[in-house]
Chain A
């Protein structure tokens, strides 16, 4: 089984931004994404989603250059005003060619 080295981008953000960020990701051409619920605290203290009490964790497996693009976009659009944490990790993916969008 060949594993392909790709990048896992994880974005933790306010529930409010979920649909918008997913739309952005789709525009970038990702082949898929995974969502899960999370809560947490960060530097911003309370915020609107404090009422909903939820963050959302978006995980997306992409090749290196798409990862860069996503990170760039997230930084530009959301970092100033919203609670967003984003990081990347190297992962070795089965059937990795699926994600080479």
Chain B
């Protein structure tokens, strides 16, 4: 974990509301693991006050990529960055996906901008079988960047299966074969909750990257609790997560 002043290299539009920013941050890039995130100060002033957390989307050499949707003031400012601008970045933060476990097939489940951490993860899964399920409200929210072997769902049916990405998983579950199957998911907590249910019923192991409001991003504010499943306590999303084994938490 370190604080790095990173130079912006490019900001590219991807789809209607999604942006991909590339920054030069050799220190963080050399340490990052898939599923970890960075906490980014989007301005040099006190406005907005807090940093904004973003998953590490890709690492290429000394460069980091973040993929983000414009939500509010923080992401708007980030979307307006130009080549040469400086960003103050804390990272890499949190615990990423555990790929050290045994598995043969990875099922990726991404909801909307929840696609962000997967290009990095997939770059580490070159030797595995991979199936990607990508969901969104409608076609405009479908992000397949860096994915392969893709199945799509949209709530309104404008692209692929009509329904949620978890309903899609249910539908195509006979494809989840090929040795030991491991789910990796990221998206709104409601989606993760439904997916956890699906995985429990079908006996799939599932890692989820969760979201929470955050102030610090590294464990000092206690602002990001996630109820533990087996103990009367909260984990911290920023420090104990953002990736959890779905069965360890109450979504």
- Genuine A/B complex: no
